[in-house]
Amino acid sequence: MSKVRPVRDRSVLVSFSGSLWGTGILDRMKLVCSRPSGEKFNHIPNRRLFTNQDPLRTLFGTNGNYSYIELINDTIFCAQPAGTTSWASRLLDTMYGGCIPVFIGESALRPFHDMIDWSKISVRISAGDINKIEEILLTRYSLEDLERMQANIMLVRNALLYPLDDTSPEEIQEQMIDRRGPLWYALHSTRMRMLTKWPVDDVYDRP
């Protein structure tokens, strides 16, 4: 994942290859099931983000001919239905591979939501629009929008990267703080709350 493929060089518009088990089972089933004939991606006339680009495709419920990591690195949008926790572990894979997360519905809690402007690195659609996910993603954003979001992801993706158990203290310091890893964001979030005394009783920080 050290070499992230630019958006313009990717051939899959959106993908999801997770299991159907979990909190968001209904949304996952909607993603992988066949679309109504009038809403199939193949019926969209222009399946390109720019002139001379090969027609984009989608992969749901399968990796196709890719490995899991290869699929992420060739996909522009990675669907993020709710997981067994408030956010699924695949979010780290998605962001580290430079794939733009697509949150479904309003219940998913985004990590460090008080420190990271997720509107600049992800998109959200309603569960009722899953049948139109391809059309929405293809028509709502320009290539410039997507390149900007991918660049922003590269700036904050270390926020979700935790060190392995056998990592040395020096490497933990580097990963968690020096590279703006999760501890860096946690410390700044805590300090901000101490200074502003936020949230208070009449302020809600969740949808």
pLDDT in tens, 23-49: 678 888 888 887 654 455 555 656 778
Q: What is the mean pLDDT of residues 52-79?
A: 90
Classify residue 7 as exposed, middle or buried by CB count within 10 Å of its CB (0-12, 13-18, 19+): buried
What pLDDT was estimated at residue 62? 87
Say which residue, 78 or 188, is predicted with more confidence.
Answer: 78
What pLDDT was estimated at residue 36? 54
pTM of the model: 0.78
Mean pLDDT for all residues in the chain: 79
Which bin fits 22, alpha (ψ -120 to 50), beta or left (φ > 0)? left
Predicted confidence (pLDDT) at residue 206 exceeds the cutoff of 50:
no
Say which residue, 160 or 116, is predicted with more confidence.
Answer: 116
The first and second tokens of residue 114, run together, are 């008080």
- Contact by Cβ (8 Å): 8, 50: yes
- Contact by Cβ (8 Å): 146, 49: yes
Q: How far apart are CA 177 and CA 94, in angstroms?
A: 22
Q: What is the mean pLDDT of residues 4-30?
A: 85
Q: Count how many residues are written for the chain.
A: 207
